Amino acid sequence: MTETLTIALSKGRILDDTLPLLAHAGVEPRDDPDSSRKLVLDTSEPGVQLVILRATDVPTYVEYGAADVGVAGKDVLLEHGGAGLYEPLDLGIARCRMMVAGYPGANAGRGKVRVATKFVNIARRYFAEQGRQVETVKLYGSMELAPIAGLADLIVDLVDTGNTLRANGLEPLEHVADISSRLIVNKAAMKMKHRRIKAFTERLADAVGVQAA
Amino acid sequence: MKEAEFASANRWLLPDAVDEVLPPRAAALESLRRQVLDSCERWGYELVVPPVIEYLDSLLIGTGPDLDLQTFKLTDQLSGRLMGVRADMTPQAARIDAHQLQYAGPARLCYLGTVLNTRPEGPGRSRNPLQLGAELFGHAGVESDVEIIALMMDVLRIAGLPSPHLDIGHVGIFRALARDAGLDADTESRLFDCLQRKAAGEIGELLQAVPAGPARDRLAALADLNGSVDVLNQAGEQLAGAGEEVQTALRHLWALATAVERHVPDVTLHFDLAELRGYRFHTGVVFAAFVPGHGQEVARGGRYDRIGEVFGRSRPATGFSADLKTLAALGETGGERERRGILAPWGDASDLVTAIRELRANGERVVVQLPGQPVHPDELGCDRQLVEKDGAWQVAPL
């Protein structure tokens, strides 16, 4: 029986940036993931298949062992609480920063502040480390609107260029974490399919090195 | 629907991650329970039945904060003290060994019972696992680790999981390396966290703060020391300059690898020196068994030499535990066991009563048909019936 390897990826920027790395590591999907309607894609390497998921679902699939490895942003991992996973390789792709943002000086005041974010766990932990008690409001999109509409004093969100913030009169105020995508591995798979996964990780590390050079 | 209405309309729903076992699985689970306990008995392990609740101090002593968060608590109306519902039976076994039994030589104990966890221990896990475990107190050598591992593998074999992978680590190595490198408590705990995730990049960044030198290089090497038994050779080279404690640990692992291969046929060994499962509780070898198609370990254990100290009797100890419900579910062969039984009419004629009693005495399953109710032999699991023929009660096909 040949060992299979299931790789979980998420649509969008992570997929676009991961495919060249995978190609360098010898794994290319047989169908174009952007146009194909298939959810499970076979690849050029026998026994290796890709599954395309929503970004926030990647750690869940890998943690349960439904996928052996995956590529997930550090933001998703921090929010998920990735204690049940290995993350042996920083792929250096989909880089951005997680920031506290708001109107200039909005973070200076004393007293209770309200923070709108998609990343409630990260926000709660970050402000607790600062010794600040905050109220978090979970939102699913358009964070920038929250301070403008008066829903929240601050937001915690991913910032790439900061242009959207500035266009709305907001600015990045505090740096929470540097974000990039990681290779994640199910703990049981790492032990039972060790040779295959270690070889795959080394080829990917090689690809990351080439791309960085 | 409001939460209160939802709850009252769905009173029958069990809480999240709390489960129950129904027929026919419950019968299969019970059969497995008997086989496993019989096997432990044959290995010389004595059964103990500790209470479901006891004082929290005693349940948690010497075990670290993780177990505290996992334990349901309530106030004892009699003493005003806090009691805990056990989340792990290992400390109870250690208490029994140290205080109740006080054997002069090694003690072998086994236990099987429901424990409660405030949160599931992993994705998809039950909060009310049926914990089975065996502990060996009073021996510090590799031989007792081998015995516990061999017993654990025997239990998995009985459960129908014949060729599990065995993952072995040693928490003493990280402990000694961290101390040699002079890590403060905060760095040590952050490094511990990174090692658990094998986050190579973060480990590198974290070690930047540690003075360069062989002690740091040895810590950095740890994350990559995983794989087949060759890893021990590799570790021997890369950790060559480390202190006596590390060398002893490596020798212990070598001896364990050799002995386990002899005692457990067809075992696939995997070593991971950065595996620190139960680090704050264990003191030496740690191990876990994995089976293909299941994303988490199915059984685990290790050495915890100091736990008895707090109960007034410090003894070396090693043991393993597993959730019997998980083993039963994974070991299911798919084909439902065929139920056999005899459907008998209700009656108080002495020949009928005698016939039924004799059939039961011979190990047959006899279900009496209650008057006035429709009969569904398949629900009752009956394939034959008791009929009166020529003035005598006879078993006939249904």
Number of cross-chain residue pairs from A and B with Cβ atoms under 8 Å apart: 64
Domains of chain B, start order: 25-330 (3.30.930.10), 342-397 (no CATH)
Q: Could you report the per-residue pLDDT of B142-194, keeping only the tens digit for each?
A: 999 999 999 999 999 999 997 899 999 999 999 999 998 888 889 998 999 89
DSSP A57: G
Q: Order of strands across the sheet with B392-397?
A: B366-368, B342-344, B384-389, B392-397
Q: Do B122 and A84 touch (CB under 8 A)?
A: yes
- A53: helix, strand or coil: strand
Contacts of B251 (CB under 8 A, 6+ apart): none
Distance of CA A67 to the CA centre of its chain: 16
Contact between residue A201 and residue A90 where contact means Cβ atoms under 8 Å apart: no
Distance of CA B150 to the CA centre of its chain: 14
* Residue B21 CB coordination number (10 Å): 16
Q: Is the pLDDT of residue B271 over 70?
A: yes
**What are A157's strand-pairing partners?**
A99
Pairing of strands B366-368, B384-389: unpaired
Which of A60, A90, A195 is nearest residue B201 as measured by Cβ atoms?
A: A90
**What are B109's strand-pairing partners?**
B46, B135
Q: How confident is the model at residue B336 (pLDDT cuts 50, 70, 90)?
A: low
Average of per-residue pLDDT values in chain B:
92
The pLDDT of residue A1 is: 43
Pairing of strands B82-85, A85-90: unpaired
The answer, for B186 touching chain A at a CB cutoff of 8 Å, is: no
How far A45 CA lies from chain B's nearest CA (Å)? 21
The pLDDT of residue B337 is: 66
Candidates A78, A80, A194: best to mutate against B (most CBs of B within 10 A) is A194
Candidates A58, A192, A201: best to mutate against B (most CBs of B within 10 A) is A192
How far A1 CA lies from chain B's nearest CA (Å)? 12
Quote ipTM for the complex.
0.87
* Residue A174 CB coordination number (10 Å): 15
Q: Is the pLDDT of residue B22 over 50?
A: yes
* CB < 8 Å to B290, chain A: 188, 191-192
Contact between residue B312 and residue B207 where contact means Cβ atoms under 8 Å apart: no
Candidates A6, A187, A202, A208: best to mutate against B (most CBs of B within 10 A) is A187
Distance CA A79, CA A81 (A): 5
The pLDDT of residue A2 is: 59
Q: Alpha helices, DSSP H only, in chain B?
A: 3-9, 25-42, 56-60, 65-70, 90-95, 142-158, 171-180, 185-196, 200-207, 214-222, 230-238, 244-263, 324-331, 350-361, 377-380
Joined tokens for residue A111: 């007293």
The pLDDT of residue A11 is: 87
Q: Is the pLDDT of residue B211 over 70?
A: yes
How far A153 CA lies from chain B's nearest CA (Å)? 30
Determine the average pLDDT of the residues in B364-382.
90
Q: Residue B201's closest chain A neighbor by CA?
A: A90
* CB < 8 Å to A64, chain B: 123-124, 295
Q: Do A194 and B226 touch (CB under 8 A)?
A: yes
Q: Residue A192's closest chain B neighbor by CA?
A: B165
The pTM (predicted TM-score) of the whole model is 0.91
Q: Residue A185's closest chain B neighbor by CA?
A: B197
Which of B200, B268, B295 is nearest residue A186 as measured by Cβ atoms?
A: B295
- A14: helix, strand or coil: helix
| Long-range Cβ contacts of B239-242 (<8 Å, 24+ apart) | B239/B173, B239/B177, B241/B214, B242/B176, B242/B177, B242/B180, B242/B218
For each of chain A's 213 residues, which pLDDT tens digit applies? 457 999 999 988 899 999 999 999 999 999 888 888 888 999 999 999 999 999 999 999 999 999 999 999 999 999 998 778 999 999 999 999 999 999 998 888 777 899 999 999 999 999 999 989 999 999 999 999 999 999 999 999 999 988 999 999 999 999 999 999 999 999 999 999 999 999 999 999 999 998 877
Q: Is the pLDDT of residue B123 over 90?
A: no
Q: Do B227 and A198 touch (CB under 8 A)?
A: yes
How far A187 CA lies from chain B's nearest CA (Å)? 7
| Lowest-confidence pick of A161-165, B188-192, B331-335, B354-358 | B331-335
Residues of A in CB contact (< 8 Å) with B are 60, 63-66, 82-90, 182, 185-192, 194-195, 198
The pLDDT of residue B358 is: 95
* CB < 8 Å to A66, chain B: 295
Contact between residue A200 and residue A88 where contact means Cβ atoms under 8 Å apart: no
Distance CA B378, CA B388 (A): 22
Distance CA B135, CA B45 (A): 8
Contacts of B358 (CB under 8 A, 6+ apart): none
